[in-house]
Amino acid sequence: MLEVKELAISFYNREEKTWSEAVHKVSFTLAKGKVLGIVGESGSGKSVTSFSIMRLHDSKNTNITGEIDFDNISLLNLSDQEIRNYRGNKMAMIFQEPMTSLNPVFTCGYQVQEAIILHQKVTKEIAKEQTIALFKEVQLPRPEHIFDSYPHQLSGGQKQRVMIAMALSCNPELLIADEPTTALDVTVQKTILELLLRLKTERNMGLVFISHDLAVISEIADELLVMYKGDIVEQGSAKQIFENPQHPYTKGLLACRPAPQRRLKKLPVVADFLNEDQNVGIKHLLEINSYTDQEIELRRHELYSQKPLLQVQNLCTWYPIKKGLFGKTTSYVKAVDEITFDVFPGETLGLVGESGCGKTTLGRSILRLVEPTSGNIIFDGRDLIKLSKADLRKVRRDVQIIFQDPYSSLNPKITVGNAIMEPLQVHHIFKNDQERKAHVLHLLEKVNLNPEHFDRYPHEFSGGQRQRIVIARALALKPKFIICDESVSALDVSVQAQVLNLLRELQQEFGLTYIFISHDLAVVKHISDRMIVMNKGKVEEEGFPEIIYNSPKAAYTKKLIEAIPGRENIAV
């Protein structure tokens, strides 16, 4: 159905006036009704390859050689007008970020309806009926209501389903899904994967599924390509690659994702495998790096024989949603509802749950970035709720937050060095900017960045590097306590492993205390000393990670554990 031969893709750099090759002569095939998984980190060439199949590159600045044959038609030889008959009609694509792929000024229904009218030449009424039927097929709740909703009114999982409905609107023979589940909850991710597999079987489509996560790919792919720096380094059946990976890069990708079955001191990273002279076995690397039961017991004894650093007592954060006749609020969204817990010095408390369960609101309420409705937050002996704004500002030196999206939490107009130096200036730490700069350069080194990065702007860094910059900024004031809010959820698995290792190293060096918020139970289990499972604003379950994972009490926790991708498929 799809045959790619010796595909090479180069891009023109206008500033340097040179061509650089992003994909180097790759070849693969896809049969009808099968799923081809393409896996690799950011920059490996996965998305560039899929964009070339759809002919979405700017032809003026892109040079593509080789062959792409779809149903024996050479796609590279078609004119711009001819490719439009295929794109969106016989071939469709689901993009990585549904919020930027959907037009915010049109309703979701209109955007799907438009594609049907364009390709199938039907009336507006018939197109609307087909759109609502598609919304039902992709299991969107209240499809008639969602037809008239705008993208910002839907959750991430719902927006992704709208994108899937749009891609399916013209019954394509080939569907390309580019990272369709990145940054989604594990339960939503599982639903999307099951949905894609069901639709593929019912419609007998060919599916190309692109991801940076081998665990996710293991749930869906028949055949697998592993890409690294524009080359295919390993190719074969998914079963064969998971059971017996050959290339060091594949071994690294398999090993660096946190697995709930293990308690590791440090996660392996891809570089551990690529830099080794001899062929290192994954299992051997994991065995020598695991915590013993005695080490875990000793750490717990040290942690829990102290007084708590933070005590959260009966905390509520409610949002008014309905007002009565005289403007009196009659109904609330109880984002955080009567939550009580302690955090001890040097501890990492994991906070896990799906989007909308109240995790982020709880984290922001503790810092009073969101004002709580009631309750007490006692930090280091002082109730933060009773503090004036001036006193709270002083306490903020000791309490920091690392936000989910490092790009939106860095000012694009100032260099990263100045962004890290800013809190030092606000709190009048050090005598002058020269001493502050020396401290910032030291922090950059701590998070594995170079001194020359001081004068660069946020857009000049990768996602993983930006996350490290935000960590350096959080450390600038030498805090006692840091809230990490989904700080690794959108990163490649190998970059995620580096950031998790960094957080643990910094904790040991500076005696930091963390609340680590995530929707990924495998990540939370790896880094946490204790875990809290949240659902609908309340604590569903609390305890040590291995007890919650091996013997969950709540049905909701069981559902989260069952949704962890690759649990049965990846043995290590």
Concatenating the DSSP letter of every residue in 10-57 gives: EEEETTTTEEEEEEEEEEEEE-TT-EEEEE--TTSSHHHHHHHHTT-S
pLDDT of residue 507: 94
Between vectors from CA 563 to CA 557 and to CA 565, what angle results, nearest 5°?
Answer: 140
Backbone angles phi, psi at 201, to 5 degrees: -70, -45
* Whole-angstrom distance, CA of residue 152 vs CA of residue 372: 25
Residue located via tokens 């308690």: 263
Interaxial angle between packed helices 186-203 and 156-168, expressed in degrees from 0 to 180 and rounded to the nearest 10: 10
Domains, the chain, in order of start with CATH, read: 33-38+82-255 (3.40.50.300)
Interaxial angle between packed helices 493-510 and 248-256, expressed in degrees from 0 to 180 and rounded to the nearest 10: 60
By DSSP bridging, strand 374-379 and strand 382-383 are antiparallel
Task: Tell me the H-state helices in 384-462.
Answer: 389-395, 416-426, 433-446
pLDDT of residue 3: 95
Q: What is the DSSP letter of 174?
A: E
Task: Tell me the H-state helices in 89-232.
Answer: 98-101, 108-120, 124-137, 143-147, 156-168, 186-203, 214-218
Structure tokens at 369: 């970035």
Burial of 160 per CB tally in 10 Å (0-12, 13-18, 19+)? buried
- The gap from C-alpha 298 to its chain's centroid, in whole angstroms, comes to 33
- For residue 552, the tally of other CB atoms under 10 A from its CB is 20
| Amino acid letter, 107 | T
Structure tokens at 569: 């498929």
Burial of 431 per CB tally in 10 Å (0-12, 13-18, 19+)? exposed
What's the start-to-end Cα distance of the chain, in Å? 34
pLDDT of residue 128: 93
Q: Give the contacts of 257 (CB within 8 A, at least 6 positions apart).
A: 213, 214, 215, 493, 496, 497, 522, 566
* Whole-angstrom distance, CA of residue 96 vs CA of residue 159: 11
Residue 175 belongs to what H/E stretch? strand 174-178
Q: How crowded is the C-beta side of 428, counted as CA atoms within 13 Å?
A: 2
Model pTM score: 0.85
3-state secondary structure of 468: helix
- Closest by alpha carbon to 429, among 475, 389, 388, 382? 475
Structure tokens at 545: 């990670």
Strand partners, 537: none
- Is there a contact between 97 and 181 (Cβ–Cβ < 8 Å)? no
Between vectors from CA 211 to CA 207 and to CA 212, what angle results, nearest 5°?
Answer: 160
* Whole-angstrom distance, CA of residue 485 vs CA of residue 477: 19
- Is there a contact between 417 and 454 (Cβ–Cβ < 8 Å)? yes
* Whole-angstrom distance, CA of residue 75 vs CA of residue 82: 9
pLDDT of residue 288: 63
pLDDT tens digit at each of 572 positions of the chain: 999 999 999 998 877 788 999 999 999 999 999 999 999 988 889 989 999 999 998 888 899 999 999 988 999 999 888 888 888 788 999 887 776 788 999 999 999 999 899 888 889 999 999 999 999 888 888 899 999 999 888 877 788 889 888 888 888 899 999 888 876 778 888 888 888 898 899 889 999 999 888 888 888 999 999 999 999 999 999 888 988 888 989 988 888 888 777 788 888 888 888 876 545 555 666 666 788 889 999 999 999 999 999 999 999 999 887 666 666 766 778 889 999 999 999 999 999 988 778 898 999 999 999 999 999 999 999 999 999 988 998 898 899 999 877 777 889 999 999 999 999 999 889 999 999 999 999 999 888 888 999 999 988 887 778 888 999 999 899 999 999 998 887 778 888 888 899 999 999 999 999 999 998 888 999 999 999 999 989 999 999 999 999 999 999 999 988 888 876 655 44
By DSSP bridging, strand 206-211 and strand 174-178 are parallel
pLDDT of residue 531: 95
* Whole-angstrom distance, CA of residue 552 vs CA of residue 554: 6
